[in-house]
Amino acid sequence: MEARPLDGLSLYAGYAYTDASTTEDTNATLVGKRIRNIPAHSLILRGDYAIEHGPLAGLGFGGSATRTGARAGDIDDSFALPGYWRVDGQASYAITKTVRVTASIENLTDERYYSHAFSPFEVWPGAPLTWRISLSTRF
């Protein structure tokens, strides 16, 4: 769902319910088990604002909050990865019509989370608070 209630303001929301489980397999013990790393529930909320007129035209801000629900950690569905929230933010400035500089912060709250797993012995942590500055162009 998308809304543009004011000039320069964009709001987005998305929700997914995913019922991902094994329906057929040569290994009958896997049938009915949840597929690893796929949450049943996920949600994203995002807002962006770009100043379109005046001396600050070209300046923009944005942020998002993403919810990833609990999910199976292996193909046997023997353990679950916990759900988590991740909050990101950014600011950008259009130097010209084709060149933009952007500063972003990912995982703003430095949430400790696990992005995916393959077994109880191979669980991958998500990235901690990360910032980056980029310069982009379009032709």
Question: Distance between CA 28 and CA 30 in Å, rounded?
Answer: 5
87 is in which domain, residue-wise?
2-137
Instruction: Encode the chain (139 residues) as per-residue pLDDT tens digits.
Output: 888 888 889 999 999 999 999 999 899 988 989 999 999 999 999 999 999 999 999 999 999 999 999 999 999 999 999 999 999 999 999 999 999 999 999 999 999 999 999 999 999 999 999 999 999 998 8
Closest CA to 15 of 66, 63, 64, 62: 66
Domains in the chain: how many in total? 1
What 3-state class would DSSP assign to 46? Answer: strand
Q: Structure pTM?
A: 0.84
